[in-house]
Structures are given as structure tokens and as C-alpha cells.
Amino acid sequence: VLALNGKIREVGEKIFASNGKEVDFASALESCEEAGGTLATPMNEEENKAILGIWRRYEPNGKGTEKCVEMYTDGSWNDKKCNLYRLTICEF
């Protein structure tokens, strides 16, 4: 269900993994749940760095219809609409 292709990181009690696919929020959530996990939810700095870096200042800011988040290549975060295609990262 979830082909990791070497895209995996372990931090504390959590494992973060990506199947390398870019899909919308609902599809990403479904893929993660089918693999026995859920969408990645970093809860501290160490976990965030495991995914990549620190939060972008003032983001995600929860404005209106932007109810999902994405991470930029520099490790910062931004909230986006949930129907956009982004890389799937799961948490186990």
C-alpha cells in the first residue's frame, strides 16, 4: 500500500514516511490510513526537523478556506486549500 522508496525518518516514538506521491488531502489521508498510520503531524521541533526544518513565521495562519498545510523545500510551512496536490507524508 505504501511504497517507501527510502523516504523514511524515525524520531522518538514516531516514524515519518512518504510514498513519493503528490495527491490531494483526502487521497493522502486515505493512503496513510490504509498503511496503518495517519497524515504526519509534527508536535515538536525535533519532529518538525525530521520532516524538514522549522515553521515559517506566521504560517500556517488558518485564513478562511486554507485548512491543509504544505512544507516548502526550505523547511517552512504554509496553509493551503485541501484540493491542491502535495507530497504525501504519513506518521506511524
pLDDT computed for residue 88 by the predictor: 78
d(CA 2, CA 80): 24
Does residue 63 register a pLDDT over 70? no
pLDDT computed for residue 27 by the predictor: 92
User: What pLDDT band is residue 57 in, cutting at 50, 70 and 90?
Assistant: very low
| Cα maximum dimension of the chain | 36
pLDDT computed for residue 54 by the predictor: 25
- Model pTM? 0.66
Question: Are β-strands 77-80 and 68-71 bridged in parallel, bridged antiparallel, or unpaired?
Answer: antiparallel
The domain segmentation of the chain, as residue ranges, is 8-91
Name which CATH class applies to 8-91: alpha beta
pLDDT computed for residue 65 by the predictor: 67
